[in-house]
A and B are shown apart, each in its own frame.
Chain A
Amino acid sequence: MREAVSDLVQVDGLKMYFPVYSGVLRRHSGDIKAVDDVSFTIRAGETLGLVGESGCGKSTLGRALLRLYEPTAGRVVIDGEDVALLRTEALRKKRPTMQMVFQDPQASLNPRMSLSSIIGEPLVEHTALSTAQRQERIYELMDQVGLNRRFANRFPHEFSGGQRQRIGIARALALNPKFIVCDEPIAALDVSIQAQVVNLLEDLQDKLGLTYLFISHDLSMVRHIADRVAVMYLGRIVELSPRDDLYARPLHPYAEALLSAVNEPDPVRARTRQRILLKGDLPSPANPPKGCNFCTRCPKVFARCLSEKPSLFQVEGGRQVACHLYDPAKPSAGSTGGFPHPKHLQQGVSE
C-alpha cells in the first residue's frame, strides 16, 4: 500500500482510439489505435520520460492523461481521482492540479494577449483573487521562470522562442499544479536555449515538488532529465526502465535500435560504433500487425511474435519489457530453437 500512496499518477489499460469512417454511409470501419492498452505509474516528484518516434502516440497519451481527449477505455488516476470518469464541473475543479507545457510556444500562446493576461488567464478562471493580488501573483510567476517584470505588457511576438517557452511554463505553474505534462517543450528551440529551459524545469521541480511526464524524441535530453523512461512504439509501451538501466543496456529490441541510432557528438565513436539499422517505416496505427507491433521491423523476430501480442513482463530491477524474448513463463530459448538466451543476444548486437 505504501507504493500506492506515493504514486501520483496511475494509468491502467488506457486506450485512445480515433474512429475511422468510410464509405457513402460513413460507417465506422475501423480505429486508429493511437494509444493501445497502456499502463504505468508516476511517483510524486518523479520525472517519467516518454520517448518514441513521431506517430507512436506519445503526444496523444499525454493529452489523454489530462483528458484533453476523451479516452476510449482505461483508468487515469491523478492524485487519487480517476480523471477519465470525472463529470464536467468536477473535471474543471481538477484542472488546476494537472497542467501542460506545449511544444510550439508560438502556436500555444494567443498573439493578441499580453504576457500578463496570458499568465493571468488561469487565475481569472479558477481563483477569486483581486486584481491587485492577481498582478502580484503574475509578477511572482514571471520571477520564477526568469522573465523580467518590465515585459508584463508585451505580446508573444516580441519574445524569442526560449522566452515564449518560459511564458508557457509560467502559465502552467499559475495554479500550483502537482503534475505537468511537458510535450516536447524544447523541440522547437535552439541547442543553446534548450539547456536553459531544461535547467529551469529542473529547478522548478526541486523548488515546487512537481511531477513531470516529459515527452520527447530527444533521447539524450531525456537521459538528462528523467528518472525512469518509457519507450513507446505504435501506441504501446515496449519498455519501461529506470533511466540508467535503459541507457546502459536496453532490453527491448526497439529500444536498443532507437538508442543505437542516436547521433553522438563524438567523431571517433561515430566511426566505430555499430548501428542497428531498422528496415522500413512505422506500420499504420489503423492497421497494426497481428502479433507484436514491432514484428515487421524487429531484427530478432521469431514465430511467436507474428501471432501473439506480448504484454509488459516484469523483469529484474523494476524493469518492464513487452517482448516475448523476456517472457518468464515461456523462456524464448526453448520456444524458438534458433534463438539463444536474450542475454547472449544482447551482447551480440550492442557495441
Chain B
Amino acid sequence: MSDGAAPVLDVRGLTTVFHTRQGEIHAVSAVSFGLKRGEVLGVVGESGSGKSVTMMSLVGLLPTPPAEVRAGQVMLGTRDLLQMTPQDLSAVRGAKVGFVFQDPMTSLNPVFTVENQICEPLLRHMGLTKPQARARAVELLEMVGIPDAAKRVKYYPHQFSGGMRQRVMIAIALACEPDLLIADEPTTALDVTIQAQIIDLMKDLQKKLGMAIIWITHDLGVIAGIADRVMVMYGGQVVEHAPVDQIFHNPQHPYTRALLRTIPTITGQREARLSVIEGQPPIMTAPPTACPFGARCAHTFDRCDAENPQRRAVDGQAVGHGHDVACHWSAEARHA
C-alpha cells in the first residue's frame, strides 16, 4: 500500500435511493470515482446534490430504511465495503476510514471528556491499554495544535471554542491513522480566520500522515485551496470531474461554469451584477432519463431532454483519471 499510485478507494456505479411517503428519491445515481494514497478529492455541489449521501453510503452510515444502497461496488483496498457484514463494516469505520463532520458540537458527545472520546477508537480498534490510549490522546491533541494538551484532554466539549472542537474532531478521526479521511463540510460552521487555521492544519497532517482525503463542501474557495482533483455533483450525479486547475480554468459543464460565475471574489474586476442560475435544483423522484441540469441550463437542446448524458473524457485520459464531463452540449460543440 505504500505505492503512491495504488488506489485507496475505488467506487463504481454507486446508486442510493430513499423510500419516502411521496415515493422514491434517487439521491445518488451511478456515481463512480477513485482516490489514490495522499490525494485530496474535493466534492462540490449544492444541498441535495447527493454529495454527503454518496459518502455516507460508502461506509454504511445511512439508516436503512429509509435509505437503500441499490447498486455499486466500493473497494477499500481489496475489500468491497458494500458486501461486508455490519460488524466488519464497523471495524472499518474509525480504523480505516476517519470522519470529520460539519458541526463539531453535535458530533461530539457533551457528557464525556474529550479524552474519553479520543480513547474510544484507540481502545476499540488499536488494542491499546488504557494508559497507552491516554498518552496517545495527549499526543493527538498536541498534533492538532491544541495548546496545553495534557490539561485540556480532561475538558468536556463545551469548554472548547468552535475551532478547537473541530481540532478535537480531527484528532479523533486521525486516532487510528486511517487510510481515508472523509471530511464533510469541516470548515463550514467556522469563521474565516479559524477556517484558515483548520485548512492549514489538515494540509500539514495530510503531508505528514499521507492519508487520502475526500473533502465535501459547497465552497469553491476552500476547494481551490486544498483539492488535487474535484468532482462536481448535481442531481445525484457526477457532472464534471477534473484536476483542480482544469475545473477552475477550463470548466466544461455549463453548471460548473455558471457556478464559478455566480460567486463574487475579493480581488479582480467587481461585477456590476452577479450572474445567476435561474430556477431551483431538481428533486430526483425517478431515475434520471434526461440531463438533471437541463431545466436550468442556458445551452439545453432536444437531446438533453431525451437522454441522460454519460461521463465522457475531454483530455484523452480514461474517465475518472483525467478531465471528464457529462454533457451533450459540450460533447457536440466539441465535435461540431
Contacts and interface: CB of A to CB of B under 8 A. Distances in A.
Contact of B220 (A257, A265, A275, A277): A265
Contact of B271 (A217, A224, A277): A224
B263 A265 contact: yes
A191 B263 CA distance: 7
Interface string B254-290: 0000111011111100110111111011000000000
Interface string B159-183: 0011110000000000000000000
B315 interface: no
Interface in A239-269: 244, 247, 257-269
B307 interface: no
B193 interface: yes
B225 A199 contact: no
B248 interface: yes
Greatest chain A CB density within 10 A among B218, B263, B270 is at B263
Given A262-B221, A263-B225, A264-B266, A278 B193 contact: yes
A190 B264 contact: no
B224 interface: yes
Interface stretch (B23-31, B70-78, B81-89, B195-203): B195-203
Contacts of B227: 267
B262 A194 contact: yes
Contacts of A221: 264
Contacts of A91: none
A261 B267 CA distance: 13
A135 B137 CA distance: 64
A265 B275 contact: no
Contacts of B223: 265
Contacts of A260: 196
Contact of A275 (B196, B271, B277, B281): B196
Contacts of A333: none
Interface string B213-231: 0000011111111010000
B273 A199 contact: yes
Nearest to A55: B191
Interface of B: 46-47, 161-164, 191-197, 199-200, 218-225, 227, 244-245, 248-249, 258-260, 262-267, 270-271, 273-278, 280-281
15 contacts: A53-B191, A54-B191, A190-B47, A191-B46, A191-B218, A195-B274, A199-B276, A223-B270, A244-B270, A259-B266, A263-B222, A265-B265, A267-B248, A268-B245, A281-B164
Interface of A: 53-54, 160, 162, 190-196, 198-199, 202, 217, 219-221, 223-224, 244, 247, 257-270, 275, 277-278, 281-282
